[in-house]
Amino acid sequence: MSETVSSIEKRRLLKGLGAVLGTAAASQMLGERAIQSAFAYTANKNSHLAKGKLFSQAQMMVLRGIVKQIIPTTDTVGAADVDCHGFIDHQLVATHGNYEKQAAVAIVDKVEQVSLQQYKLSFAKCSSAQQLQVLTAVEQAQMGFDHNDKANFKVVKNLTVFGYCTSKEGATQALKYSYVPGGYQGSVPYQQIGRAWSSKAYY
């Protein structure tokens, strides 16, 4: 049999835990199932209150503010409501390379730095209007942000959108999800559907 995801996850986890406990002890402590669930991403209401896999707790607070401004809560859930910040922290480690990891950390730090300069406040403590001003400036490469920052921001933004539109709430409430369409209809008045499809063949 080929190696499964869970055994990869096990090695990754053992590498971390083993340093503390010794590999044999760590291995004994953890059943396969425990390891799999330890590494699968599950939405967490409080991921901004703890250190992430990639981001520090302070950075998680900033990231939460960023995703909230990209996709705010309206009559449907927003990105922070579905833990996009926690998802981004997980996904960067699990499925992305160094370029994206570094880009994401760099823009989170830069956003914080500019907020402190501009408003003497941590980004997370800024008002919603101030936060929006800072992020608008990123996209316009102003207020001390340059085109490199703008490119770095797109990494976070794209993960926010992906995380939101593939979350159960985002996919089924803000967008329209159809697991079994029942057949293909090529021409349907848009009003009949009213939302973009979140369901895709390949994500």
Q: Which of residues 52-111 bind another protein (CB under 8 A)?
A: 69-72, 74, 76, 78, 87, 90-91, 94-97
**Phi/psi of residue 152, nearest 5 degrees:** -65, -40
Residue (37 or 113) nearer to another protein, CB: 37
Q: Which of residues 133-192 bind another protein (CB under 8 A)?
A: 135-136, 139, 154, 157-168, 171, 174-175, 177-192
What x-and-dash track marks residues 116-135 binding another protein by CB under 8 A?
----------------x--x
In angstroms, give the least distance from the CB of 125 to another protein: 19
Instruction: Kindly give, in sequence order, each residue whose CB lies less than 8 Å from that of residue 135, ignoring residues fewer than 6 positions away.
Output: 66, 69, 70, 111, 153
Q: CA-to-CA distance for 91 and 48, rounded, in angstroms?
A: 15
Q: Quote the least distance from Cβ 39 to another protein, whole Å.
A: 7
Using the minimum distance from each CB to another protein, give the nearer residue, 17 or 174: 174
Q: Would you tell me how many other CB atoms lie within 10 Å of the CB of residue 178?
A: 11
Phi-psi region of 154 (alpha: psi -120 to 50; beta: other; left: phi over 0): alpha
